[in-house]
Structure 1
């Protein structure tokens, strides 16, 4: 039954390994012939199963099992001493605060893409909620395990609920590993512009959203280069923006002394 329609792989990813048919039938025979009212026979990978099963809420059904308690042991969100990958920490320790933040965000996005089966991190929007990206309890545990392995942290299985977007999760990971860093506003703005330019480059020229992006950018540029309302140049600029073609030509002729 488990082999049909990929069910075996589905259960394995959730921590339930398939049983050898001969052994399973033997145990079933013993269970049926016994006096226990309720019997469960399963080969469980408790760290994976318990983590996914309790990711959204505690489980009174499982909490008294020693294996579950052992699987869930750890202080969520803390860094494990001497447990992080030295190459990761060494690499990020030598870069600027902005580059370090971006590297951690890329790490989170890469693991997110991997557990969701996306081709690369470009498919993962930093500000999009994990729930909207398609996360469930299983993928939350897989993301947690991957980040724990790379960072040496003990992130909780509830991480996608506690930090609901890749951006927020990356900020938590960064601050836990390196401490909260005050990023210079100028550097932060330039980093955001780089990310924006990268995102725009991936939008198809035929996509209508490009028009909306252009309008928004023009508005931002207007605010950035805004001149006091009393400035004559500003007034002329506003008049030209609202003028018709004929009015613009008349203005040019007047300025050049032509009639």
Structure 2
């Protein structure tokens, strides 16, 4: 607040509290804590100054309430209230302005001082740039001279913003034009993305297809964390060890959903805690099931029968072959139902493994 000999002349409400989390994790207490600092305090200031002849009533809001704020549902609501209060005051002839600040550089201190490097990289990769202190002061002067009740003060990289996977925030679509190529891609249904991936996997062995899926998940995980290369992602390390939290986990789920065309669970990263586990899960959904072995076995036995008819009539050779066949048959008939012994080998083998067993038995 600003005061002179005649009393209070201006109010600047800059308070704010963060308690980020997914909507499903926000308890009434967590919501109240954030609203109290922003919305409640602003409303008290509004009511307490109605009888004062103010020249300025400035509310520090955030782009979380106007553009986007992943994991900041409570904070977004609090700042949206500030924007609405500014319009309410202006509609009643009272001075007011709500300034929706973008991301401040961690060097400026304040609420972003503890921001992790990976989080900063992820935000800037989406097109939003951090504000420097001197840049913020220039924007403040310009905004204070504007008549609008609500003003967004946030620098952004137009090229990055136009080409990001999440699309351009609706409020900025009149300022940033998406390339035709990206627009067409964004308009494509998720099923087409899945079809494209399936086409990449067509003709590959299950092992080769599995490796493609591993690299897909590694690449998306690296992009979410702001890494320049997927080499930074160890496929066997838990996502929590790599730096994932609830917000980045959902972002990874969303990116993989777009890449595969699958409807993936919101708990994907928690149910499948590393790259290998997610790749295997996706593979189970999109890779064709293994062909049934029985028809191939019967075909091979027919070929074996034809081969046996060509065996010369010497007694020693026929005895040796008969012995091996009996060993194979005894193992097949005597194996337990859960797959012990030769029968278990046969029951669980794929086609290539089964042919190897036959070759070994003969």
TM-score > 0.5, shorter chain as reference: no
Which structure has the bigger radius of gyration? 2
TM-score (ref. length: structure 2): 0.32
Q: Which has the higher contact order (CA 8 A, sep 6+)?
A: 1
- Whose strand fraction is larger, Structure 1's or Structure 2's? 2
TM-score (ref. length: structure 1): 0.43
